[in-house]
Structures are given as structure tokens and as C-alpha cells.
Structure 1
Amino acid sequence: MLLAYLDFYRAVLLCKAAGLDDAALARRLPGHPSPMTLGGLLAHLAYVEDEWFTRRIAGAPAPPPWADAPWEQDRDWDWHWGERASGAEARALFAAACARSRAVAAELGLTSGADLDAGLAAGDASLTRRWALVHLVEEYARHAGHADLLREAIDGAVGD
């Protein structure tokens, strides 16, 4: 069920970014100080996928571009990368991260009811796979609301 909710929210994000050109994906909410954009959301959630599935759940090293990102100079590098990237680049990064996450889930048996209460391979030893999946659903749910507002401000589109 947790993986199904993740897939639902992944699809919602892609729906909110569908049909938009590079300029629209880089557009911020008018009159709002937040630097959030739909391109930034695609990049941020790609980072979140890789951080939790690839690095923490599987224990593998962070893949590019995260491994080489200048996090010390810009702790919001993922957001800023997404704002500068083309729509094709942001969508490809997001799709690749989701594919890696699905591969980790399948490899560890999370798609067939493996032990969700097992600890994570990297990071906080008190956290479990179940906790990580619930956290990912929560992260996507929060950002799906942001994506709703951004898309509506761009062209008035509403709904999933």
C-alpha cells in the first residue's frame, strides 16, 4: 500500500508538470517569496528518492548528480538545479531516480511484503524501512499541494 501511494504521488507530480515548457517549469508563485518551482520540485523529489531508497534503504552511494553536488556551498542545490534545468533534464532525472527506487524496492522484496520493520542500511539506526516509506509518502503529499498551487498559477489547471 505504501509503494502504491508513492506511485500515485509520483504520477501526480508528473501530471502537474505535463505539457509545460522550460519557462513554465521555472516559474515561481507570483507575489510569493518562495523560490519553489515545478522544475525544482522534480529535482528535489528525485533527490529525495535517491537519498532514501538508494542511499539509506539500500546503503548504496549517492548517484550523480547528488554525489558531486556542491552541498556545502548550496544546501538547496537540488531545488536550484531544477530551476535551471530544462524540462527534459528535470523529467529525466526524476524518472531515473524513481526507476532506481522501484529497483531497490523489488530487490529488497518490499513489493512482496518483505520485512518493513528491518532497519535502514545507512543513516539513523533507529529508523525502519516502514518509517522511511511513510516519510516518503508524507514528503510527496506535502509537495503535491505545492505542485497544485504552482500549476494553477501557471495556467489555471486544477485537479490530478
Structure 2
Amino acid sequence: MSSGTQSGDERTLLLQFLDEQRSVLRRVCSGLTAEQLDTPLPPSDMTLGGMLKHLAYVESWWTTGVLLGREQGEPWDSVDWRADVDWDWHSARDDTPEQLWELFEREVARADEVIAAAGLDDLSARANARTGERASLRWILLHLVEEYARHCGHADLIRESIDGLTNA
């Protein structure tokens, strides 16, 4: 981690790690054109624009959809996920950079509001479809950090392939 404390309470540290991963993604994806945001690094078809939209969805799903058990709102509610389970990744090519950033920042802000109103031990309203288990906010925060960390590694490689930028 590049900033923050190393000795705070559990909640502070979890949120600090999540914010740091969000910041890494912002740095890696910043300053790119629509064409660059839609550039994959073969053999993967992942793009940085798709990643921004996917992580916006992940923020919304885990906080609003799972923790609160509520509809997520648009654009998520009208998607035919059965027709394309990776719609968030694929549809990003149809969005402008401004639309992608607005969606990402809006979902991060919404997620932060949900997180601020819950305790680490609060259980999700929605249970896991396979196990019936409900996730705690603590687990959800750890999962968000995991999801960002995985994709930030991908993002570093994709960005370097686009314009040579490293350590964004």
C-alpha cells in the first residue's frame, strides 16, 4: 500500500485497502481515449473500459444487490444476463470514456454509502444461491479487495501494452 496507516482498527484497514485498490484502477485507466479503453491484450478479450464497467457492477452487486438485497437500478436491472453473462465487459465498447467513469464513480459512491451504514458483522439480505449462507459485510469487503487486486494486475498489463505506462 502506498498510503495510510498500518495499525488502524479492522474497519479502517479494510476500507483503506479497498480505497487503495480503487485508486490503482483509477490511475491505470486514467487519460485514455475510447479506442484505448477498448483495446484488449490478446489472447484475452479484457479491456480497461470493460474492467471499469465490470468493477462498477461488482460494487453495485455486492453492496446493493447482496448486502441490502435490493434491485441495483440501471443499467443493471434491464440487462438480459442469460443472453450475455459478461454483458458488463462486452457492452463497455458502446460507452464513452465519460460514461464509463461516471458509472464507475457513481457505483463507488453508492457502495460507500451502503458500507458506511453497516457494521462488519451485519449479514447480507441475500443468501448464496448454492449454500444458503449469508455473507457478512466483513466478507464482502475482503471479496471486493480480492476482486480489485486481481483485476488491477490485469489492468497493469493491458495499460503497458497500450502505451508503455507502468507503475501507474
Q: 1:141 deviation in Å?
A: 0.3
Are the counterparts in 2 of residues 26 and 84 from structure 1 also a CA contact under 8 Å? Answer: no
Q: 1:47 deviation in Å?
A: 0.4
Q: 1:57 deviation in Å?
A: 1.2
Partner SS for 1:122: strand
Q: 1:78 is matched by which residue type in structure 2?
A: D
**Residues 2-151 of structure 1 correspond to what in structure 2 (within 5 A)?**
2-29=14-41, 32-108=42-118, 114=119, 116-124=120-128, 125-151=133-159
The Cα RMSD (Å) is 1.1
Number of residue equivalences: 152
TM-score normalized with structure 2 length: 0.86
Q: 1:132 deviation in Å?
A: 1.1
TM-score normalized with structure 1 length: 0.90
List gaps (5 residues or longer) in structure 2. 1-12
Percentage of identical aligned residues: 45
Q: 1:15 is matched by which residue type in structure 2?
A: R
Partner SS for 1:20: coil
Whole-Å separation in 1 of the counterparts to 2:127 and 2:99: 29
**Runs of 4+ that moved beyond 2 A:** 123-127
Are the counterparts in 1 of residues 49 and 93 from structure 2 also a CA contact under 8 Å? Answer: yes
**Larger proportion of strand:** 2
Partner SS for 1:127: strand
Q: 1:82 deviation in Å?
A: 1.6
